[in-house]
Amino acid sequence: MISNRRLGTFRLSTLTRPLYWLYERRLLAAIKREGKLPRHIGVIMDGNRRFARMVGLDVAAGHDYGARKAREVLDWCLSLGVTHVTLWGFSTENRSRDQREVEHLHSLFAKQARELLQEPRFHDNRVRVRVIGEIGDFPAETQAALRAIEEATRGYDGLALNIALGYGGREEIVSAIKSLLQAKAAEGLDLSTLSRNLTADDISRYLYTAGTPDPDFVIRTSGEVRLSGFLLWQTAYSEFYFCDAFWPSFRKVDFLRAIRIFQQRERRFGR
């Protein structure tokens, strides 16, 4: 049974769909005329649970809708020619949620990885996948599915897709510094010498995203105006866009409007 609220939303979207289609076309034409695109887009996919509550679904269904939206957004990025995308799907703090929700998310990650591997457009566009974060506590089946898609796409040279799972920005920086210290110690370098010569580039080489350009542009949905630890090191000079829509409700027109706003900004990099 569809609630009156949901029915009203459906009727409104049916009536306004032609207008949004025209608006999308105008935005896309303007984006193509400008030509300037973010090289690397980071996306904080927020609002699955609130979307589910809003439309009368359970939390698991909200995450399922969110997973489908992630596939849509990946298609939009491919169509525009964006070369790097990082999607944040599961934070270190998310581990403390209800166990049934966490288990559903683990199963969903495995399911999505297996489905992507079977999708022709994914291979036709040579999308290379890298999982960033700590997934050692994920179920073995989920880890295997994620490692399989990494391995299958390792040699691809198309869009580079980072999927942030078990990810936290502070944890990433701590991990990078630990790895740096261990590597330098193995080379016989003493701590005093290291501290005198240490640079930001040295630390960057040990981040999860090593070898990937820093994000030019970060989009967060659900109306929250904060990073919540997303790519803390890498976003020093990123442009940000905060959208009120919950992640499953994020439309192509919202995405294109965000890209258009990015094009209109002047990036100064602190200068």
Domain that holds residue 65: 39-167+214-264
Position 8 scores a pLDDT of: 40
Is there a domain that residue 127 lies in? Answer: yes
Is 209 a domain residue?
Answer: no
Token duo for residue 149: 């898609």
For 84-104, the pLDDT digits (tens) are: 999 999 999 999 999 999 999
Judged by DSSP in three states, 217 sits in strand
Is residue 17 pLDDT above 80, yes or no? Answer: no
Alpha-carbon span 60 to 52, nearest angstrom: 8
Residue 131 within any structural domain of the chain? yes
Q: What does pLDDT average to over the chain? A: 93
The pLDDT confidence band at residue 21, using thresholds 50, 70 and 90, is confident
Using the predicted structure, report yes or no on whether residue 6 has a pLDDT greater than 80: no
pLDDT tens digits along 259-271: 999 999 988 776 6
Q: How many residues does the chain have?
A: 271
pLDDT value at residue 43: 98
Residue 161 lies in a domain: yes
Q: Mean pLDDT across the stretch 69-86?
A: 97
**Structural domain includes residue 108:** yes
- What the block records as the tokens of 208 is 């999860």
**pLDDT(224) > 50:** yes
- Within a domain: 163: yes
Average pLDDT over residues 31-36: 94
Predicted confidence at residue 14, as pLDDT, reads: 65
pLDDT tens figures, 116-148 = 999 999 999 999 999 999 999 999 999 999 999
Average pLDDT over residues 135-163: 98
Residue 91: half-sphere exposure toward Cβ, Cα within 13 Å: 16
Residue 94 annotated among the catalytic residues of the structure: yes
Residue 166 near residue 90, CB atoms below 8 Å: yes
Position 248 scores a pLDDT of: 97
At residue 268, the pLDDT reads: 79
144 three-state secondary structure: helix
Tokens of 38: 């973010």
Mean pLDDT along residues 242-259: 97
Indicate whether 34 belongs to any domain: no
Q: Is the pLDDT assigned to residue 4 strictly greater than 90?
A: no
Q: What is the mean pLDDT of residues 191-212?
A: 95
Catalytic residue among 4, 48, 75, 94: 94
Report the candidate in 194, 102, 119 with the shortest Cα–Cα distance to residue 153.
119
Q: Would you state the pLDDT for residue 216? A: 97
**The domain that contains 44 carries what CATH number?**
3.40.1180.10
pLDDT for the residue numbered 3:
44
Number of domains in the chain: 1
Q: 46, 214, 216, 254: which is the annotated catalytic residue?
A: 46
- Name the band, by pLDDT with cuts 50, 70 and 90, for residue 11: very low
Q: For position 271, what pLDDT does the model report? A: 66
Residue 181 within a domain: no
Would you state the structure tokens that stand for residue 24, as one six-digit string? 């999308």
pLDDT at 15 over 60: yes
Q: What is the mean pLDDT of residues 166-181?
A: 97
pLDDT of residue 151: 98
Q: What's the Cα-to-Cα distance from 151 to each of 117, 120, 130, 229, rounded to whole Å?
A: 11, 17, 9, 28
